[in-house]
Amino acid sequence: MTRLFGTDGVRGLANKDLTVSMALSLGGAAADVLTADRKSSDLRPTAIIGRDPRVSGEMLAAALAAGMAARGVDVLRVGVIPTPGVAFLTDAYGADMGVMISASHNPMPDNGIKFFSTGGRKLPDVVEDKIEAAMTELSATGPTGTGIGRIIEEAPDAMDRYLAHLAESVPTSLAGIKVVVDTANGAAFEVAPAAYRAAGAEVIAIHDQPDAYNINDNCGSTHIEEVQQAVLEHGADLGLSHDGDADRCLAVDAEGNVIDGDQIMAILAVAMKEKSELRKNTLVATVMSNLGLKIAMEQQGIEVRETKVGDRYVLEELNAGGFSLGGEQSGHLVLPDHCTTGDGTLTGLKLMARMAETSTSIAELASVMKILPQVLINVPVENKSVIMNDERVLEAISAAEIELGSTGRVLLRASGTEELFRVMVEASESEHARKVAGRLAAIVASI
């Protein structure tokens, strides 16, 4: 049986895969599971619900709220706000649980439901499995009378609380910095420009007019060419590009060159080490991060801990090791001293603060790391599970690793959502990387 929860909550095509009835049941089951261990029965359990602007979020929020209220949970709807805003407000309001309705960088017709526990923390697999099991065990009736939860439609201070938290996290003045920000017509359409302006930056916002249908539509972090063009047009110092739920941030320099998540991690790791804020002089990254990041960090005396692909694995390693910085090449960075999940607006503030503190361009800051040419080939396969057990594949990988030596890397992994096997090769020369990747991909395709 296919697990309902994926690597980042429950996702699917809204009103087909992700239906109102499913959301109603999910809300009720989550309410039962996440409030089961409440220490005090004096006050009713509470939940926070936020969403991105896509049209299906309105109906899913209503269904989730109804499901929770039917199980005796009071619900505070905080409206359109980034995912990290929901995580923060779950803690700030002392709520028992939080819910974000968003499909992140996915197209508008998709949507997703992501839960947070007390303190705004993502759920481990075992708790998600309990919620999924509870969906089939929900009783037909819940509490009655005064036991039914209330649904509060507005939280007037939610945005202000979140903006104050961002300002407190990065108090550096950004006066003199001109930035273009692409909000993807998404959850950060108000927050990101407001936060950057409050810090003193001159802000040019693009794709900041959501209409319920245009989220991620040729804009945001998956279409960074939009912010590249705008930076050149406006003569800005840098550009920042967020995804639909604003837990990611990518950047471009004044010349329009992309600064990816690996480079942003390198910039912040060096800055934090200088301030003795990089605990254990360690950065947490996934196996997909460019080898150039690891080489650059070694030169700076910083250890890199590698995890499987996915921000949840980065979070697990950060929490287990007590580290203070981690992230992914996609621009999903986590700074546990300030947030419990990735926060794209916070990342943008930290990046510009480093520029302001050092009076240095983002291009110069990013030069601490040299990106090695990386080639990624997605190979359609019939059975992902047999690939890494095939002797031909193992022999080819071994030969490629010897050929590349210390200046290259090979990574083969199965896609988590499709019948694809991903072949990634890095080398000092792009042509060399393409040849090695092509050979490996051909072998995988033949199995």
Enter the tokens of residue 293.
Answer: 């990041």
Rounded Cα–Cα distance for residues 75 and 441 (Å)? 50
In order, the DSSP letters of 349-360 are: HHHHHHHHHHT-
Q: DSSP readout, 364-389?
A: HHHTTSPPPPEEEEEEE-S-HHHHTT
Could you give phi then psi for residue 44, rounded to 5 degrees?
-70, 145
Classify residue 276 as exposed, middle or buried by CB count within 10 Å of its CB (0-12, 13-18, 19+). Answer: exposed
Interacting residues of 438 by C-beta distance below 8 A, sequence separation 6+: 377
Instruction: Give CA–CA dist 261/216, Å, rounded.
Output: 19
| Opening angle at CA 336, ends 333 and 337, nearest 5 | 125
CA distances (Å), origin 170, targets 58, 239, 306, 337: 32, 18, 27, 12
b (16+ CB within 10 A) / e for 143-182 = eeeeebbebeeebeebbebbbebbeebbeeebeebbbbbb
Listed in sequence order, the residues at least 6 apart from 349 whose beta carbon sits closer than 8 Å to its beta carbon are 166, 169, 170, 174, 195, 196, 199
Q: Provide the β-strand partners of residue 117.
A: 97, 121
**Is 169 marked active-site?**
no
The answer to the question of whether 247 is labelled as a binding residue is yes
Q: What angle, rounded to 10 degrees, do the helices at 125-135 and 20-34 form?
A: 120
104 is in an annotated binding site: yes
Q: Write down the catalytic residue from 104, 117, 169, 330.
A: 104
Residues marked active site are found at 104
Q: Which residues are annotated as a binding site for Mg(2+)?
A: 104, 243, 245, 247
Q: Which residues are annotated as a binding site?
A: 104, 243, 245, 247
